[in-house]
């Protein structure tokens, strides 16, 4: 803002008074604030999606903002909410099935996923999880990050969250 006022005062010559500089500074600030307010007002509003009815826990399974869908992390739970038996590969398969289902009910698909984050209870199980993960993304592999975690909900072995696009 000071740069805008300084640039404006330099065009007016050296006869610009301090009060004129303040006016120019206020005008520059008002213009900047107006531009910011317009940007915020025109930003897409989030839509909190509940493809399975009211959530059981205090978070939304998916949130759509414009043509972006942000998924909550999914662990390998079945329709009753219980962790599937069978270890890391069974959990990975179920978590990815859950992700695919939420995406389909939210207007997207695994083919439209651009980023995944994987949380692992034991990073030594990475290769076994990766075997299953790789079978779910046939046309491309999304960008991905992975972290070791000291504990996950329901003592899950892994959790995956994704960002996808719609349309």
* Buried b or exposed e, range 126-156, using 16+ CB within 10 angstroms: bebbeebbeebeeeeeeeeebeebeebeeeb
Instruction: Please enumerate in sequence order all residues whose Cβ is within 8 A of that of 111, keeping only pairs 6 or more positions apart, or say none.
Output: 138, 139, 140
3-class DSSP state for residue 45?
coil
Q: What is the pLDDT of residue 138?
A: 86
Q: What is the pLDDT of residue 5?
A: 43
First to last CA, the chain: 40
Q: What is the DSSP letter of 70?
A: E
- Which domains, ranges and CATH numbers included, belong to the chain? 2-42 (no CATH), 47-165 (3.30.1330.40)
Q: Of 69, 76, 50, 53, whose CA–CA distance to 61 is shortest?
A: 50
User: Tens digit of pLDDT per residue, the chain (167 long)?
Assistant: 445 444 544 555 555 566 666 655 556 666 666 655 555 568 899 999 999 888 888 999 999 999 999 999 999 999 999 999 999 999 999 999 999 999 999 999 999 999 999 999 999 999 999 999 999 998 899 999 999 999 999 999 999 999 999 97
Q: What is the pLDDT of residue 112?
A: 97
């Amino acid at each position: 803002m000071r740069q805008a006022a300084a640039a404006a005062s330099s065009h007016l010559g050296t006869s610009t008074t301090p009060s004129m500089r303040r006016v120019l500074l206020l005008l520059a600030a008002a213009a900047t604030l107006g531009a910011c307010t317009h940007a915020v007002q025109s930003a897409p509003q989030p839509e909190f999606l509940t493809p399975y009815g009211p959530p059981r826990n205090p978070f939304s399974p998916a949130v759509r903002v414009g043509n972006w869908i942000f998924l909550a992390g999914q662990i390998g739970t079945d329709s009753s909410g219980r962790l599937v038996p069978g270890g890391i590969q069974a959990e990975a398969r179920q978590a990815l099935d859950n992700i695919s289902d939420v995406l389909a009910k939210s207007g997207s698909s695994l083919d439209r996923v651009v980023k995944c984050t994987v949380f692992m209870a034991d990073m030594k199980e990475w290769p076994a999880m990766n075997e299953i993960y790789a079978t779910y993304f046939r046309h491309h592999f999304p960008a991905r990050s992975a972290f070791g975690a000291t504990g996950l909900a329901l003592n899950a072995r892994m959790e995956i969250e994704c960002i996808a696009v719609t349309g």
